[in-house]
């Protein structure tokens, strides 16, 4: 038998108490071989005309608004409809009746794209803290519009960066899907945070002691690797003050968050070589039962995709992470940005 | 604005009542463009020495058993330890105490590999129904061994086929991870099936009327596309008779299932061009509360990976499927195997 190198550390199973799920940590996994030719990281094809670039606005689905509002060719950010939407704003809303048989409702909802820069090659990390803050405030503004639609229960804001994180368009953008249902993972998170609150009288995110998991801090936010991170080098950015909804953010906090977010992108890019990643805003449903307010706390998640997932994760919802969070946090903390 | 071609069908939101989660169906999504150069489907590198091939047994982690038991060089199937395990059989079992703070237990468990053929280039679909049945009976035998370990609560059997379904080794194999916890998705499935049983007095899988979702039938099993399929062209194979645990399968049923599984692989291969996929066995925990017996029913899931996932799925647990299940079922039903 081939000599099994002794792993530096034994596997551990940790509970993600925010999502109420288990994660397996096993450094040995990172040393397994592969007999597939290396996966190429698909690169953007810069020859194709990009509808998100300034000058090509007519190739996009209708615009919802732009920033600045009165700009013409010199816009900074545009919020547009997704031309290939997962849900449709043109359908009637149907309340899902709880039937025993097969339940289907019309795919009513809103699916928008936020174009984060007029220039094709500019990434969020190239923008200034104030400009990243502007993108966050644009999301806030659109969420507040969607909130006025009674049948929308939850808005998911997400960014796919890099083909293996799902991106089909390379021009920097985020997406928002507004849904007439509360997604299962969101309900699980709310219930799990409520449970913690019932047991301790405290909000589970207010109560976090980052210690060796801390990466960096700003005036209003902390960034850390969560204790039971699903992905290697996963990062959470948590507001210091208790707040249930992302759209409660103000301009000052948005700029502060913009700076911390930019720092995290630069650290990831330097240490992990511009990895594909998802940026996710975890917030609360609109028509929140007020009893949830003291236990729910919004946060951002950055999920780098350094390896794929396989059947085990799909079947069980348990992830396997080869990097212990305290090790990832130390590495990211120590990356110096010149 | 570019003309939005009218989708043949409006989006729909369906409830997967087995897992209690929502899936968004949107045929329009399948037409969205990508400006990333086409993802290459990594091909196996046949130059590398494969430890799973006959003759290279010494390069593998220790064997648990082989089939036939008394074979030497002429083995058909081998069950071995995974050399880079996600959980370790050498650790002590710790019962996860329900603490309010951070919960971590030792990563105790078993992580095995089932080598399905001695020959590198042979896939499950190349085997005869009886030989596929033999692989299933091998999994059954190993599960029964693991069951004798009191601290193991659940065994997940899974197969990764193709690099983008997670496979790192191209030689045909499956894996088994035996865990001291019940994974979150398994608990959700048990609870959701129990709820259906409470409401109707029936098992939700016994009660399925496949109709236009049917693909094929055998003496003891039916194969269909589930009503709220997570993945495009996803297939479930369900035993006709009520049974909670996969390891209750007998030899006759295993051969029958082997034939139906082979047929599904051939149909997928012809229609979808040998796609990457996961094969998953969804069974029940060992130390089952007996009250769950009438509502839990094991089944197989085949999840083809025709497109990746992005931030929306990771954040919400809701999947977006561009192919309506009735359309996928019709296409798969109509594939003729000569
Ligand atoms: N001219 C135009 N006008 C307006 N909008 C346009 C447009 N041309 C393209 N679009 C839209 O722009 C979006 C670009 O989004 P991304 O690159 O972040 O990933 P995408 O949504 O394709 O899928 C990824 O994210 C989703 C959700 O997580 C996963 O389901 C999927 O598997 C993954 O690849 C697409 O949704 C597309 O429909
Ligand atoms: N000489 C040897 N002896 C014994 N065992 C050997 C060996 N050489 C390699 N192995 C093991 O063989 C297994 C092959 O498994 P797969 O190809 O199905 O996917 P893998 O487990 O690598 O990861 C995929 O599946 C897991 C679980 O779903 C995901 O976490 C991951 O992201 C995805 O790539 C590996 O687990 C490896 O450790």
- Contact status, residue A163 vs residue B35, Cβ threshold 8 Å: no
Partner-chain residue, chosen from A51, A107, A308, that has the shortest CB–CB distance to B164: A308
Judged by a CB distance cut-off of 8 A, whether residue B12 touches chain A is yes
Judged by a CB distance cut-off of 8 A, whether residue B200 touches chain A is yes
A173 catalytically annotated: yes
Homologous superfamily (CATH) for B57-87+106-334: HIT-like (3.30.428.10)
A275/B99: higher pLDDT: A275
- Which of A9, A58, A315, A319 to mutate against chain B (most B CBs within 10 Å)? A315
* Residue B33: per-residue pLDDT: 87
* Selection from A131, A145, A104 nearest residue A257 by Cα: A131
- Contact status, residue A91 vs residue A106, Cβ threshold 8 Å: yes
The whole-model pTM stands at 0.94
Residues on chain A touching B319 (C-beta within 8 angstroms) = none
Partner-chain residue, chosen from A33, A185, A316, that has the shortest CB–CB distance to B317: A185
Contact at CB, A278 and B310, closer than 8 angstroms? yes
| Share above pLDDT 70 across residues of chain A, in percent, rounded to a whole number | 94
Q: Calculate mean pLDDT across residues A188-199.
A: 94
Q: pLDDT band at residue A126, thresholds of 50, 70 and 90?
A: very high
Q: Calculate mean pLDDT across residues B321-335.
A: 96
Q: Calculate mean pLDDT across residues A266-288.
A: 94
Bridge-based pairing of strands A319-321 and A21-25 is parallel
- Contact status, residue A77 vs residue A114, Cβ threshold 8 Å: yes
Q: What's the gap in Å between A7 CA and the centre of ligand 2?
A: 16
Cα A227 from Cα A208, distance rounded (Å): 10
* Selection from B84, B314, B23, B125 nearest residue A86 by Cα: B23
Give the range among A76-80, A217-221, B69-73, B109-113 with minimum mean pLDDT: B69-73
Q: Angle CA(A107)–CA(B299)–CA(B237) in degrees, nearest 5?
A: 75
> For A302-336, how does the pLDDT look when each residue is reduced to its tens digit (9 = 90+)?
999 998 899 999 999 999 999 999 999 999 999 99
Judged by a CB distance cut-off of 8 A, whether residue B179 touches chain A is yes
pLDDT exceeds 80 at position A48: no
* Residue B98: per-residue pLDDT: 58
pLDDT exceeds 80 at position A281: yes
Q: pLDDT band at residue A278, thresholds of 50, 70 and 90?
A: very high
pLDDT exceeds 70 at position A14: yes
Q: Calculate mean pLDDT across residues B136-151.
A: 96
User: Residue B98's closest chain A neighbor by CA?
Assistant: A15
> For A151-173, how does the pLDDT look when each residue is reduced to its tens digit (9 = 90+)?
999 999 999 999 999 999 999 99
pLDDT exceeds 60 at position A176: yes
The burial of A338, by beta-carbon neighbours within 10 Å (0-12 exposed, 13-18 middle, 19 or more buried), is given as: exposed
Judged by a CB distance cut-off of 8 A, whether residue B163 touches chain A is yes
> For A64-107, how does the pLDDT look when each residue is reduced to its tens digit (9 = 90+)?
999 999 999 899 999 999 999 999 998 887 776 655 678 888 89
Bridge-based pairing of strands B319-321 and B21-25 is parallel
Task: Identify the helix (H) or strand (E) that includes residue B41.
Answer: none
* Selection from A61, A54, A59, A167 nearest residue A116 by Cα: A54
Q: pLDDT band at residue A41, thresholds of 50, 70 and 90?
A: confident
Q: Delimit the domains of chain A by residue range.
A: 57-86+106-334
> For B1-53, how does the pLDDT look when each residue is reduced to its tens digit (9 = 90+)?
343 444 468 899 999 989 888 999 999 998 888 888 766 677 787 667 899 99
Domain boundaries A57-86+106-334, CATH class: alpha beta
Give the range among A244-248, A271-275, B19-23 with minimum mean pLDDT: B19-23
Interface of B with A in 33-62 (CB under 8 A): 33-40, 42-45, 48, 50-51, 58-62
């Amino acid at each position: 038998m081939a000599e099994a190198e002794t792993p530096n550390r034994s596997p551990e199973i940790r509970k993600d108490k925010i999502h109420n799920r288990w994660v397996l940590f096993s450094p040995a996994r990172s040393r397994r071989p592969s007999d597939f030719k290396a996966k190429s990281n698909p690169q953007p094809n810069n020859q194709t005309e990009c509808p998100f670039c300034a000058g090509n606005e007519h190739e996009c689905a209708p615009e919802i608004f732009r920033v600045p509002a009165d700009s013409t060719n010199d816009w900074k950010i545009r919020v547009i409809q997704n031309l290939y939407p997962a849900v449709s704003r043109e359908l009637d809303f149907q309340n899902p009746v709880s039937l025993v048989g097969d339940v289907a409702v019309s795919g009513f909802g809103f699916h928008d794209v936020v174009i984060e820069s007029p220039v094709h090659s500019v990434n969020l990390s190239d923008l200034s803290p104030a400009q990243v803050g502007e993108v966050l405030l644009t999301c806030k503004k659109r969420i507040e519009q969607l909130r006025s639609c009674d049948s929308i229960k939850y808005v998911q804001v997400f960014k796919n960066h890099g083909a293996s994180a799902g991106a089909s368009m390379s021009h920097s953008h985020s997406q928002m899907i507004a849904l007439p249902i509360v997604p299962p993972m969101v309900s699980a998170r709310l219930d799990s945070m409520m449970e913690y609150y019932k047991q301790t009288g405290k909000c589970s995110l207010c109560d976090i002691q980052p210690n060796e998991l801390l990466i960096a801090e700003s005036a209003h936010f902390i960034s850390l690797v969560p204790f039971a991170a699903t992905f290697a080098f996963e990062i959470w950015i948590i507001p210091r003050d208790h707040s249930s909804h992302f759209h409660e953010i103000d301009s000052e906090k948005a700029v502060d968050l913009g700076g911390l977010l930019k720092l995290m992108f630069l650290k990831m890019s330097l240490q992990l070589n511009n990895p594909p990643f998802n940026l996710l805003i975890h917030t609360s449903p609109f028509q929140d039962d007020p009893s949830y307010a003291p236990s729910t706390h919004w946060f951002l998640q950055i999920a780098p995709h350094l390896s794929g997932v396989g059947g085990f994760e799909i079947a069980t919802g348990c992830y396997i992470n080869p990097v212990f969070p305290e090790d990832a946090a130390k590495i990211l903390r120590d990356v110096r940005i010149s």
